[in-house]
Chain A
């Protein structure tokens, strides 16, 4: 598939597609971080995760509309406000869902899968009723438009770069929260031994709710990032859920570094192959490779060596 290209052309194709893949990478990482927390730490399969992402995207869309109508002088800053609002909205909904639904199902992981699938259907139809079936897009502020030329053949879109920096920051933040903060330590304690964690005075129910809300909140931020690379529709989230689950499983659940590495591999493979093959074949080949590797190495790429 490489014939007909010179070496220099190939280099720039790989570089360009690599940078184009960074936006996909960012969405994958943010979605997968949330899922990895929820699935890896709590063992809950959240099939509605894509809908939490879309909630964040709709919040971003509403914020952008609000700023362009009422605060047009501050429009260039709307994205930061939108991100915070998206996090809060998704996290609140997540906490509510945990309280109503998930906490009754902790011992039945396959049932959480079915119940959250039902939730995703309800949310999709809710978005369709509120926002309409048509896809909406946001206007980017000027400083996010355009691209930055490295050489005359390689151009990097500014918004992709921005989203990626944001992703790295959030990933580091999540890592710090899980490793250093009191709540993060409590969460890991509950995962390792629920009964003992309860015995030393950790409120396990509160920790569960916090963990689930955090995962959903990060999905909300993923939604903000998503508005930059795609248009938002009621069912847009469903398209990403399978890929994201593969990212999480491929990276080895409960390992945040593995999640980032596997999101990078999958998004780059897909983006690079898309240039040479049709989009659908690129996706088929990527997913097949991942499934194939998972069959050979079911524990994922990176695993913690622990005795259970």
Chain B
């Protein structure tokens, strides 16, 4: 009983539990597998949004190129799956069997060198994290060591997202071009397109999401998180206090990249393809709006924000495709102008006071009934004692 009370008094633990109940029990029972798979797809964007909470909400670094890391993670896994799908038996009709079909269409006759290591599953898992993090490290060191920040950083990361998309689309023979890497079939001989596999990946996705949430929660609570907030508010003072500000920025940017990459890899597994349309400027900036709608300071809030915006997007574009861009535009403007702290802000300013006003009443009642023999509750004795 005591433990339960401690638990309910810890707001983080409660919100983690509520999210877990929603994702693990409610959604899988309510939704059929097609919709659940969509939710799984939305949740992969939540990884990016959590990364943005750390870098943007906590550290004040707005990256408009998170799609790059999402894409790199996704592409790494897609390359492994594509190689498995293009075994010499499967691709016997090609002029060069054993290489992915789009390479054959583009008159390539041998596997490019950078595809070779992706035959190994262990290397792929390593690359899913390592490639985006190393890339983020290079960008971060180049920018933050020279004290580039704020607006300039946003514009340059956006340019990097643009370059990445043009490169992927232009190098069709090596990357699959505008269609991306499609037609992924099996993982170690296990068909990833069955309903059973989809359930498995959904739960794997949720488990990884909670892992990422725990890491993010730990960072926000740690001394590191405090320094990040201090840096966001008064960078100079943190620097004069003896901290190397750029290292903290580089670290949090790399963590955000790693989270995005995990999301990208889970996206590939659940949706079955990866394409440049998840890398460029538009998806990257949409991922920022998921974080903004959820609340840029709240790691749990952005998960709900991501789910809500994507659900609205799917619903709107199914029934009123022409209204969707208006709604999305209004959402951008509305969140920035009226609700800078997003859903989480609405919760803390409206719902929480409500809970707060109920809680003392409950506590009062609980005390009345539980502890009548320790001299009695004050309320009962007040009249007689005086």
Contacts and interface: CB of A to CB of B under 8 A. Distances in A.
Interface of A: 39, 43, 45, 101, 104-105, 108-111, 113-115, 117-122, 124-125, 128-129, 242, 245-246, 249, 278, 280-281, 283-284, 287-288, 290-291, 294-295, 298
Interface string B33-66: 0000000000000000000000000000010100
Contacts of A117: 285, 332
B207 interface: no
Interface string B311-326: 0000000000010011
A114 B289 contact: yes
Contacts of B158: 242, 245
Contacts, number: 111
A281 B170 contact: yes
Given A111-B340, A118-B331, A298-B146, A129 B159 contact: no
A280 B170 contact: yes
Contacts of A295: 142-143, 146, 148, 156
Contacts of A249: 152, 155-156
B329 A118 contact: yes
A246 B166 contact: no
B336 A125 contact: no
A242 B152 contact: no
Contacts of B151: 39, 43, 45, 109-110, 113
Interface residues of B, number: 40
A104 B170 contact: no
Contacts of B146: 295, 298
Given A129-B322, A294-B148, 8 more contacts: A39-B151, A45-B151, A45-B154, A45-B155, A113-B64, A124-B325, A245-B155, A298-B148
Contacts of A291: 156, 159-160, 163
B77 interface: no
A108 B335 CA distance: 13
B156 to A, nearest CB: 6
27 contacts: A39-B151, A43-B151, A104-B337, A105-B336, A108-B336, A111-B340, A113-B64, A113-B154, A117-B285, A118-B336, A119-B332, A119-B333, A121-B329, A121-B332, A125-B326, A125-B329, A128-B325, A242-B158, A242-B159, A242-B162, A245-B155, A280-B167, A284-B163, A287-B159, A287-B163, A291-B160, A295-B156
Q: Which 5 interchain pairs have the tightest Cβ spacing?
A: A118-B332, A280-B170, A122-B329, A121-B329, A125-B325
B81 interface: no
A284 B170 contact: yes
A233 B334 CA distance: 27
Contact of A128 (B166, B167, B322): B322
Contact of B288 (A39, A114, A125, A242): A114
B150 interface: yes
A121 B328 contact: yes
B292 interface: yes
Nearest to A118: B332
Contacts of B335: 114
B159 A115 contact: no
A118 B159 CA distance: 19
Interface in B158-197: 158-160, 162-163, 166-167, 169-170
Contacts of B288: 114
